[in-house]
């Protein structure tokens, strides 16, 4: 069983759909992250949940909504997305300031 | 100024050579530094972490940190074609009250057989 598990691995959705990405970590970490990676662009931090504090990148549109019900689970709720939101969405977890471990990612295509 | 800067490359080295990857960062109070390897279509994989000035060696990989110069590097000795990937530098930088992992844009490395 991998340390950080993301589902689904691939998702195709229309612009009017609502979907959610799920992430679960089995490492006992206290911080979880959502990153977006578009083609030919660097990793972009979207949201961090750390010791029950949420920090967000102010440039992330409101059509992305995170939820962290506990330290092991993280969701990214998606609604009314745009084609430019198509990207690889990566979840990661870490213990405080130490190294982060990534899930395998969700390849999202918005049509 | 970008928070974490890397040369985007591409960097090409022959098999068996030393590959040298460089990274600079802007947050002087950064405490944790990491190198990740990312193959095309895959998620980043941690290969090295370094927390104090100096060198840290792990097999064919050596990470070097110089906090005074705000510089961290990765050396890959005896480079293999399987080392061909994008290498990401990451720094645990402060944003408000939280410390967050910020990535550079990555350096694409190609090891030629």
pLDDT at residue B1, as a whole number? 63
Q: How confident is the model over A28-65, as pLDDT tens digits?
A: 998 999 999 998 788 899 999 887 678 888 889 999 99
Average pLDDT for chain B: 91
Which of these, B21, B43, B35, B9, lies nearest to B101 by C-alpha position? B35
Query: Looking at chain A, which residue has its C-alpha nearest residue B93?
Result: A97
CB contact under 8 A, A100 and B34: yes
pLDDT at residue A1, as a whole number? 52
For residues B50 and B56, the answer to whether their CB atoms sit within 8 Å is yes
Residue B95: pLDDT band with limits 50, 70, 90 = low
pLDDT at residue A54, as a whole number? 81
DSSP string covering B8-51: ---EEEETTSPEEEEEEES-TT---EEEEEE-TTS--EEEEEE-
Distance CA(B20)–CA(B74), nearest Å, equals 6
Distance CA(B38)–CA(B40), nearest Å, equals 6
Q: Which long-range contacts (CB under 8 A, 24 or more apart) does A44-47 make?
A: A45/B100, A45/B101, A45/B102, A45/B103, A46/A76, A47/A76
B103 to chain A, any CB pair closer than 8 A? The answer is yes
Residue B31 has pLDDT above 70, yes or no: yes
CB contact under 8 A, A43 and B44: yes
CB contact under 8 A, A99 and B34: yes
Residue A6 has pLDDT above 80, yes or no: yes
B45 to chain A, any CB pair closer than 8 A? The answer is yes
CB atoms within 10 A of CB B11: 16
Residue A108 has pLDDT above 70, yes or no: yes
Mean of the pLDDT values across residues B32-46? 93
Residue B97: pLDDT band with limits 50, 70, 90 = very low
Mean of the pLDDT values across residues B82-92? 94
Mark out chain A residues that contact chain B at CB-CB < 8 A: 33, 35, 41-43, 45, 48, 50, 53, 55, 88, 90, 92, 94, 96-105
Q: How far apart are the first and last CA of chain B?
A: 37
Considering only CB atoms, A45 lies closest to which of B49, B100, B104, namely B100
Q: How close does chain A come to B92, measured CA to CA in Å?
A: 7
Top mean-pLDDT range of B24-38, B49-63, B95-109? B49-63
Query: Looking at chain A, which residue has its C-alpha nearest residue B103?
Result: A43
Residue B11 has pLDDT above 90, yes or no: yes
């Amino acid at each position: 069983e991998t340390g950080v598990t993301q589902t689904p691995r691939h998702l195709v959705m229309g612009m009017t759909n609502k979907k959610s990405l799920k992430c679960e970590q089995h490492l006992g970490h206290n911080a979880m992250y959502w990153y977006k990676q578009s083609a030919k662009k660097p990793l972009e931090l979207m949201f961090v949940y750390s010791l029950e504090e949420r920090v967000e990148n102010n440039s992330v549109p409101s059509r992305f909504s995170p939820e962290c019900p506990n330290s092991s689970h993280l969701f990214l709720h998606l609604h009314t997305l745009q084609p430019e939101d198509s990207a690889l969405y990566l979840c990661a977890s870490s213990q405080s300031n130490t190294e982060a471990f990534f899930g395998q990612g969700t390849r999202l295509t918005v049509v | 100024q970008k928070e974490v800067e890397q040369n985007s490359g591409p960097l090409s080295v022959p098999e068996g050579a030393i590959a040298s990857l460089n990274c600079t960062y802007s947050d002087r109070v950064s405490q944790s530094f990491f190198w990740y390897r990312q193959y095309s279509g895959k998620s980043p994989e941690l290969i090295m972490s370094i927390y104090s000035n100096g060198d840290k060696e792990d097999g064919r990989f050596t990470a070097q940190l110089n906090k005074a110069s705000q510089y961290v590097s990765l050396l890959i000795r005896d480079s293999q074609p399987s080392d061909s990937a994008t290498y990401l530098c990451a720094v645990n930088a402060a944003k408000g009250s939280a410390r967050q992992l910020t990535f550079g844009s990555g350096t694409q490395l190609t090891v030629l057989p």
